[in-house]
């Protein structure tokens, strides 16, 4: 539908582009111009009154009204009256007046009374970039059920949202917002956002489109893949056969077996080439080792800053760090990025561009070990396909516990026991150096105690240029690793059974879960100790009773208060006002169904 120039101008001032968005700019209050027989203090009310007397003071005017609908007199007070206000009141005149009723010591008054017409109506008042009366005229003229339906809003939702703008007595007399009204606000708010996401999705021809098979490879594995691993591989298999370059995000909890999905994807791409970019040399090395082990017939190569330059044309599977961005890359049918959030958007786009040919692009898979709420995954699927791997190949047996200073002696005994079993321990400190602000020891303050009382203690942190070498040495020979959260994502430590997180209440639940996920990677009994000086922490108590990363992500939302996902670029900085990530998964499903009716992109 074509908008008039006037509407386009007003939409521009309101920073909106649709009638759905206009409907969300609901009134902040109403002028209830209906007559009531009962006086209600601290509310704006309409009176049918005769002016009995007027008294002028230096900075105010006092008017005595006989109020016919109340049956008694009240005093009206105008503070610092403007000249035009004087003419509204004449002794003996009977008119309708509107203002705030206040009562004190048995006496009632109306502050700032004004003469009104439109009696019996309910006038909405708006706070927006248009004057309230201009906004109301725009709404009256342009906002209709039919227009919202044209934009894809279901009729029941459209009718409900209009109650806010064209309020009737039954709507005003409710003491609080009804569930139907709140649902309408949530639905339209999310609908507008997801429609915007879907409109940003771009489709390109793939460099290669082919029917792929993975079962000959899975039969060679010494273990069976989980149902979720297989369903994710099957989704990727379907992607590869389409005449559109796929863009998929695979989100898997710590230890959920994303590596097998990566290898299956590389296998399904054959005889064409795949490229995988990982954020650290350690991760790239691990993935290369796994590729050599489980894809022995595929020619794989590792590319890091330290590796020798070779002719990459000769290889089917190129695995590397960001160093691959600075090599002459051959064409590749598939590009994968592991721990995609560790790379900037520019780096990810650069890899895609380097392997594109004109308007044709490689299939693109990005992997993340940071679980996201299912609601967010469903929303994100408007502009990128999403696969969730929520289960792990084996059940982790990790005991989580909140501990305090009084538990330190017991903790040391536990560490000695684990080291005696040839297991390893990780102790995470909040800072590298001493701080006057923080009430916890830093690495530099604490390392002396551990190095004095234990052998083979290794220390590293984010600014340590040798951290990757320290982690590799610790994996082979270490007993205790003292570190900052640098180990949150990274090296696999098969013998690590215990993690102690100092000042745990300072970290987000997702970070705590990532650190906990470092232990028990091979099925050993694991322990996670959350050390805090706080007497009580509901967040930490709930964390120790929650094992799934996806449930942790929902908990994180609950404690951070939902709605911190920023809207599209044209509304940057705004948060969801009505929609709640932690609670409203059903709303997401409804919105997706409605969007699917008007677009083929979902």
Count up the domains in the chain and report the number: 4
CATH code of residue 73:
2.40.50.140
Rg over alpha carbons for the chain, rounded to the nearest Å, is 33
β-sheet bridge partners, residue 427: 482, 500
Residue 269 shares a structural domain with residue 347: yes
β-sheet bridge partners, residue 250: 367, 387
User: Which of these three, 389, 411, 431, is where a domain ends?
Assistant: 389
SS (H, E, C) 257-290: CHHHHHHHHHHHHCCCCEEEECCCHHHHHHHHHH
CA distance 85 to 113: 9
Task: Print the domain residue range for 141.
Answer: 5-31+120-176
Q: How far is CA 101 from CA 42, 108, 110, 212, 508, in A?
A: 5, 7, 5, 75, 48
User: Which of these three, 115, 143, 167, is where a domain ends?
Assistant: 115
What pLDDT, on the 0 to 100 scale, is given for residue 584?
79
> Which residues does 24 contact at the CB level (< 8 Å), separation at least 6?
161, 185, 188, 189, 192
Residues in the chain, how many?
602
Would 454 be classed as within a structural domain?
yes
- Beta carbons of 76 and 99 less than 8 angstroms apart: yes
User: Which of these three, 361, 389, 417, is where a domain ends?
Assistant: 389
- Given strand 424-428, what is the order of strands in its sheet? 398-403, 526-531, 496-502, 424-428, 480-483, 457-459
What pLDDT, on the 0 to 100 scale, is given for residue 344?
67
Would 448 be classed as within a structural domain?
yes
Closest Cα partner for 338 from 265, 426, 397, 445?
Answer: 265
Would 517 be classed as within a structural domain?
yes
The encoded tokens of residue 14 equal 């309101």
CA distance 441 to 449: 11
Dihedral over alpha carbons 217, 219, 224, 230 (to 10 degrees): 50
Of 91-100, 259-268, 521-530, the poorest mean pLDDT is in 521-530
CA distance 273 to 295: 14
- pLDDT greater at residue 471 or residue 572: 471
Would 268 be classed as within a structural domain?
yes
pTM above 0.75, yes or no: no
SS (H, E, C) 163-218: HHHCCCHHHHCCCCCCHHHHHHHHHHHHHHHHHHHHHHCCCCEECCCCCCCCHHHH
CA distance 587 to 184: 10
The encoded tokens of residue 469 equal 């070498």
For residues 89-112, give the mean pLDDT.
91
Peptide bond into 262 cis (omega under 30): no
Would 551 be classed as within a structural domain?
no
pLDDT tens per residue, range 112-130: 999 998 898 888 999 999 9
pLDDT at 567 > cutoff 50:
no
Would 597 be classed as within a structural domain?
no
CA distance 372 to 388: 9
Residue 14 shares a structural domain with residue 57: no
Residue 131 shares a structural domain with residue 78: no
pLDDT band at 488 (very low <50, low <70, confident <90, very high): low
Residue 450 shares a structural domain with residue 505: yes
Residue 104 shares a structural domain with residue 131: no
For the chain, percent of residues with pLDDT exceeding 90: 53
Give buried/exposed letters for 148-173 (b at 16+ CB in 10 A, else e): beebbbbeebbebbbbbbebeeeeee
Would 416 be classed as within a structural domain?
yes
Residue 236 shares a structural domain with residue 276: yes
Q: Looking at residue 564, what DSSP letter applies?
A: -
pLDDT tens per residue, range 52-79: 999 988 889 999 999 999 999 999 999 9
CA distance 137 to 20: 17
Residue 98 shares a structural domain with residue 25: no
Residue 415 shares a structural domain with residue 521: yes
Q: Reduce the DSSP state of residue 146 to 3 states and report it.
A: helix
- pLDDT greater at residue 252 or residue 200: 252
pLDDT at 246 > cutoff 70:
yes
Residue 287 shares a structural domain with residue 371: yes
pLDDT tens per residue, range 392-426: 777 778 999 999 999 999 999 999 999 999 999 99
- Beta carbons of 65 and 50 less than 8 angstroms apart: yes
pLDDT at 529 > cutoff 60:
yes
Residue 377 shares a structural domain with residue 479: no
pLDDT tens per residue, range 369-387: 777 766 777 777 777 888 8
CA 113 remoteness from chain centre? 47
For residues 192-205, give the mean pLDDT.
84
CA 363 remoteness from chain centre? 26
Q: Reduce the DSSP state of residue 98 to 3 states and report it.
A: strand
Which stretches of 328-438 are DSSP H helices? 345-354, 374-380, 408-420
- pLDDT greater at residue 569 or residue 231: 231
Closest Cα partner for 578 from 246, 179, 103?
Answer: 179
> Which residues does 370 contact at the CB level (< 8 Å), separation at least 6?
251, 341, 510, 514, 549
- pLDDT greater at residue 573 or residue 191: 191
Residue 391 CB-density burial (10 A; 0-12 exposed, 13-18 middle, 19+ buried): middle
Residue 498 shares a structural domain with residue 378: no
> Which residues does 580 contact at the CB level (< 8 Å), separation at least 6?
186, 562, 563
Residue 319 shares a structural domain with residue 403: no
Q: How far is CA 512 from CA 354, 540, 565, in A?
A: 36, 9, 21
CATH code of residue 276:
3.40.50.300
Main-chain phi, psi angles of 105, to 5 degrees: 60, 35
Would 575 be classed as within a structural domain?
no
């Amino acid at each position: 539908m074509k908008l008039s120039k006037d509407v386009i101008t007003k939409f521009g001032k309101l920073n909106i582009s649709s009638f759905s968005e206009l409907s969300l700019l609901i009134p902040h209050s109403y002028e209830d111009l209906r007559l009531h027989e009962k006086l209600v203090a601290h509310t704006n009310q309409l009176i049918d009154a005769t002016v009995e007397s007027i008294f002028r003071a230096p900075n105010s005017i006092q008017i005595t009204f006989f109020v016919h609908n109340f049956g008694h007199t009240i005093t009206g007070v105008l503070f610092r009256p403007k000249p035009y206000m004087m003419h509204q009141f004449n002794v003996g005149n009977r008119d309708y007046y509107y203002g705030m009723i206040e009562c004190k010591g048995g006496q009632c008054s109306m502050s700032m009374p004004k003469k009104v017409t439109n009696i019996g109506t309910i006038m909405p008042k708006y706070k927006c970039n248009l004057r309230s009366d201009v906004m109301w005229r725009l709404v009256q003229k342009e906002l209709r059920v039919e227009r919202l339906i044209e934009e894809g809003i279901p009729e029941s939702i459209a009718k409900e949202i209009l109650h806010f703008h064209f309020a009737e007595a039954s709507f005003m007399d409710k003491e609080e917002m009804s569930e139907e009204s709140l649902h309408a606000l949530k639905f339209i708010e999310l609908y507008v956002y997801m429609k915007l996401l879907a409109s940003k999705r771009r489709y390109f021809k793939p460099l290669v489109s082919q029917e792929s098979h993975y079962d000959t490879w899975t039969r060679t594995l010494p273990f069976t893949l989980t149902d979720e691993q297989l369903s994710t591989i099957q989704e990727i298999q379907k992607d590869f056969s389409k005449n559109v370059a796929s863009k998929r995000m695979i989100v898997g909890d710590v230890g959920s077996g994303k590596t097998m999905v990566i290898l299956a994807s590389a296998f399904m791409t054959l005889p064409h080439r795949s490229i995988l970019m990982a954020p650290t040399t350690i991760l790239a090395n691990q993935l290369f080792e796994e590729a050599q082990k489980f894809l022995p017939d595929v020619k794989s190569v590792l590319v890091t800053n330290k590796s020798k330059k070779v002719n990459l044309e000769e290889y089917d599977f190129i695995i590397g760090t960001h160093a691959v961005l600075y090599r002459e890359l051959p064409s590749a049918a598939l590009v994968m990025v592991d721990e995609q959030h560790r790379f900037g958007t520019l780096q990810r786009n650069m890899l895609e561009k380097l392997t594109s040919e004109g308007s044709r692009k490689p299939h693109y898979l990005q992997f993340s070990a940071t679980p996201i709420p299912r609601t967010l995954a469903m929303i994100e699927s408007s502009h990128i396909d999403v696969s969730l791997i929520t289960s792990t190949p084996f059940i982790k047996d990790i005991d989580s516990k909140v501990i305090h200073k009084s538990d330190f002696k017991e903790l040391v005994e536990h560490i000695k026991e684990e080291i005696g079993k040839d297991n390893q321990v990780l102790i995470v400190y909040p800072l590298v150096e001493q701080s006057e602000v923080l009430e916890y020891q830093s690495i530099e303050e604490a390392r002396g105690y551990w190095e004095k009382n234990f052998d083979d203690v290794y220390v590293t942190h984010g600014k340590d240029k040798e951290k990757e070498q320290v982690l590799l040495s610790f994996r082979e020979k270490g007993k205790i690793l003292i570190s900052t959260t640098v180990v949150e994502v990274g090296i696999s430590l098969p013998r690590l059974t215990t993690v102690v997180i100092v000042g745990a209440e300072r970290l987000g639940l997702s970070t705590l879960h990532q650190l906990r996920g470092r232990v028990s990677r091979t099925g050993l009994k694991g322990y996670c100790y959350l050390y805090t000086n706080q007497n009580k922490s509901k967040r930490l108590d709930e964390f120790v009773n929650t094992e799934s990363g996806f449930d942790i992500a929902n908990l994180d939302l609950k404690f951070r208060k939902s709605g911190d996902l920023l809207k599209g670029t044209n509304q940057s900085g705004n948060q969801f006002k009505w929609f709640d990530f932690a609670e409203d998964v059903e709303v997401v499903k409804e919105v997706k169904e409605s969007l699917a009716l008007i677009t083929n992109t979902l």
